[in-house]
A = this chain, B = another copy of it.
Amino acid sequence: MERGSNAGDPQGHAAHDLIARIFTCSAEVAAQVMRRGRVCAYAGNATILRQGDWLSTAFLLLFGRAQALLYSADGQMVLLHEYNPGDLFGALGELEPVRQEADVRALEDARALVLEAAEFALLAQQHGCISLALSRMLLKRLRKTTERMYERAAISAMGRVYAELLRQARACADLTIRPAPVVAELALRVATTRETASRAVNGLERRGIIRRSPDALVIVAPRRLEALIM
């Protein structure tokens, strides 16, 4: 774990603004949050937390992205959560240390504000805006997790790849995913093997439902793709 500090941090102001936005709180409350924690920096691919660690700190991701990952009995990686700037993870509301449920890995260079869980609980108690933001975040994460659980129970692995492609394409202009999705990343997201994800994507291309170029993947026939999700 690399450790940075607040002093002389050129990104300090940006972090400050971000905290005010995350908690929809005043600049004073944001400054108070910043003062209670320390900013830690992680290189891309670094492990921020290890599954099984006993933890008494909360992490507020400020820059970069991270993923919570588990390993199944047969060694397959399972994606549990994705964290973006503004997301919290670690020990959030518990008064006792908690056992970290998954590895958390930085996907790229990342910075997080690290706070003692007890300090964070106190801040949430003192400032309604913080506890509200926390419950909104948890609610969103719970819905996302539930959706994943449902998909894994209800939809075949191929179908989950199709659904993920549609989701990504619909978030982009012209149903074009740019850069083209990495097969390993697709597989991780929908809890299947690279082989299955690769078979699914190749099959769609052969049938003319998608078109691939070196830097993008276009969904040509979204209706047909949707009909294949089962």
Chain A residues in the interface with B (C-beta under 8 A): 70-73, 76, 78, 80, 92-94, 101-102, 124-125, 128, 131-132, 134-136, 138-139, 141-143, 145-150, 152-156, 191, 230
CB of A136 within 8 A of CB of B101, answer no
Please name all residues of chain B whose beta carbon is closer than 8 Å to the beta carbon of A148 when the two chains form the complex. Answer: 149
Which 10 pairs across A and B sit closest by C-beta, in order of nearness?
A: A138-B138, A131-B131, A135-B135, A72-B153, A72-B154, A134-B135, A78-B153, A93-B139, A73-B154, A93-B136
Chain A to chain B contacts (Cβ below 8 Å), 29 pairs: A70-B153, A71-B154, A73-B153, A73-B154, A73-B156, A73-B230, A76-B153, A78-B149, A78-B154, A80-B146, A80-B149, A80-B150, A92-B135, A92-B139, A93-B139, A101-B146, A101-B147, A102-B146, A124-B132, A125-B132, A128-B131, A131-B135, A138-B138, A138-B139, A138-B142, A145-B146, A149-B152, A152-B152, A153-B191
Copies of this chain, complex-wide, total 2
CA distance A149 to B150 in the complex (A): 10
Q: Given contacts A78-B153, A150-B101, A153-B78, is CB(A142)–CB(B143) below 8 Å?
A: no
Q: A102-B146, A142-B142, A148-B149 are in contact. List 4 more A-B contacts (CB 8 A).
A: A73-B155, A80-B146, A94-B139, A124-B132
CA distance A143 to B99 in the complex (A): 11
CB distance from A182 to the nearest CB of B (A): 21
